[in-house]
Structure 1
């Protein structure tokens, strides 16, 4: 039979484990993993040193964690009202104040990690993180909700490039494609929640098109990003660029037509186009060297 001390210790361990699981679920893990992994691949293909690459990736991870936790903490009341049981703060797995603490701690870590990559590089990255926090705290429910996504995604290749020797700015087409990917990510991220958001009075940029309009608009910035990545560099687009552009147009058109009856088809097509864009961004991103 365990002693009271053992029972208390077990309870404390379970409490900390529960909080850890709750925090993991509150950080928006899928976007955190995708954006951090995309940055890590860009770091490797850009030719950054191992030490600088680790710092760059760690800074992006900290920034993304802070953004995700800020989002869930700020939206807690709205999520409770909407009955969003996929949110740990709604199910009681974690308290809102703990999520706020985690957000500020991650943000505090993001600042020195970013600046350790160089003042110019760090400033650019922190500008992207600040834009994302502005989205969480205010811009999400306005017609300007797309701007933080565009800024945030555009700063990622810039952050990687400015961390290289000589601190070069990436080519315009890399930054532009990143911004377009951000707009597409915004549409895709918001699309499933548009009906419930509208019921709670949230009217961001995608919401103003309604679910059907947003679904039809979703492939546009993603295909445009493909075109920029394929045609932006000097010279012919090459085999990979031409193939990617043709594939993106074909998949997007198919998704748009079939999506009239099957909504998941349109979203799935947009995901495929986004994957093509990310692959091209990584391949073409070697131009930041």
Structure 2
């Protein structure tokens, strides 16, 4: 029973929603890029272990702050799993991520590991600085490179794919932090969004998300009907997420971040539906 309880705690501490979403979206991108079945499995395994390590690292590092804030929604604070167990799981997942990433090729693997290291840097302290956006930009921007560099010949991704992914990362960062700005400031966390304040961040969130969608849509295909539909869908999704995340009774604080991930899904669907060439 104790083991089952600890496993449930680990499952809850890995940030399961974002972990699964990023893993699935990158795997779909790998399929669309032309990676073979074995390559797609390797992409799935590498991204999954990397995302697990990032989520567990985050909860292990924040255990003290979450306890002080009374975050009983966190498994560590609720006593479901220990901070030590979460930390150890993060280290094991990171250790597994290294060979799984390099199995796609040294250059491809290093590209992915650069993104994972950037995310760990965020968890370990960069999130409390003005450069808190940078690990998200690097981490998301590295994912297309990981996919394409593992193709035969190791081609680099097109610049617009990398830039769009980085913009999605910045938008995800803003949306993720938005509901916690007040509590972060109280805890002494002063990253870029916290310094901007809730009102400015709310106004800023749509910009990188819509810019990424526009870059993927119009930069590759021109002003096609599908491009306009994708941009409209991204705009509506972002607006719905911000509205649902307003601090009112019955609202969903994480809605802006979920909307950001949904926009990423729209963008990946746009690439797949149009048969985009991800490489230069």
TM-score when scaled to structure 2? 0.90
Per the TM alignment, residue 159 of structure 1 is displaced from its structure 2 partner at its CA by 0.4
CA–CA distance in structure 1, aligned partners of residues 109 and 47 of structure 2 = 10
Unaligned stretches of 5+ residues in structure 2: none
1:15 aligns with 2:2: yes
Is it true that 1:63 corresponds to 2:44 in the alignment?
no
Q: Which residue of 1 aligns with 2:144?
A: 157
Residues 18-38 of structure 1: per-residue CA shift (max 9 Å, x gap)? 110010011111110000010
Q: Contact conserved, 1:22 with 1:89, CA < 8 A, in 2?
A: yes
2: CA distance between counterparts of 1:269 and 1:96?
A: 29
In structure 1, how many angstroms separate the alpha carbons of the residues matched to 2:259 and 2:42? Answer: 34
Q: Give me the whole-angstrom Cα distance separating, in 1, the residues matched to 2:155 and 2:274.
A: 15
CA distance in 2, matches of 1:181, 1:250: 16
Matching residue of 2:39: 52
Q: Tell me if the contact between 1:229 and 1:284 (Cα under 8 Å) persists in the aligned partners.
A: no
1:230 aligned partner: 217
Q: What SS is found at the alignment partner of 2:211?
A: helix
- Listed as ranges, the gaps of 5+ residues in structure 1 are 1-13
Matches within 5 A, 1:89-168: 89-168=76-155
Aligned position for 1:277: 267
- In 2, are the aligned partners of 1:161 and 1:167 still within 8 Å (CA)? yes
Deviation at 1:278, TM superposition (A): 3.7
Report the counterpart of residue 40 of structure 1 in structure 2. Answer: 27
State the distance in 1 between where 2:240 and 2:89 align: 42
Residue among 211, 222, 225 paired with 1:239 = 225
Number of positions where the alignment pairs a residue of Structure 1 with one of Structure 2: 275
Instruction: Give the superposition deviation at 1:269.
Output: 6.5
Q: Which has the larger radius of gyration?
A: 1
The alignment status of 1:205 with 2:192, answered yes or no, reads yes
C-alpha distance in 1 between matches for 2:93 and 2:4: 19
How many Å separate the matches in 2 of 1:258 and 1:76? 27
**In structure 1, the residue corresponding to 2:156 is in which secondary structure?**
coil
Quote the offset at 1:243 in angstroms: 2.4
TM-score with structure 1 setting the length: 0.87
For the structure 1 residues 176 and 139, does the alpha-carbon distance in structure 2 shift closer, same or farther, using more than 3 Å as the test? same
3-state SS in 1 of match to 2:183: helix
Greater than 6 Å deviation, 4+ residue runs: 253-266
Equivalent residue number for residue 7 of structure 1? none
Q: Deviations over 1:104-154 (max 9, x none)?
A: 000000000000110000000000000000000010111100100011111
Q: Distance in 1 between matches of 2:26 and 2:71?
A: 30
1:4 aligned partner: none
Q: Displacement, 1:56? A: 1.2
Aligned match of 1:189 in 176, 180, 184? Answer: 176
Out of 192, 204, 216, which is 2:203 matched to?
216
8 Å CA contact retained: 1:157, 1:285: no
Taking the TM superposition and a 5 Å limit, the aligned residue runs for 1:75-86 are 75-86=62-73
Displacement of 1:251:
6.0
Distance 1:176 1:264, change over 3 A: same
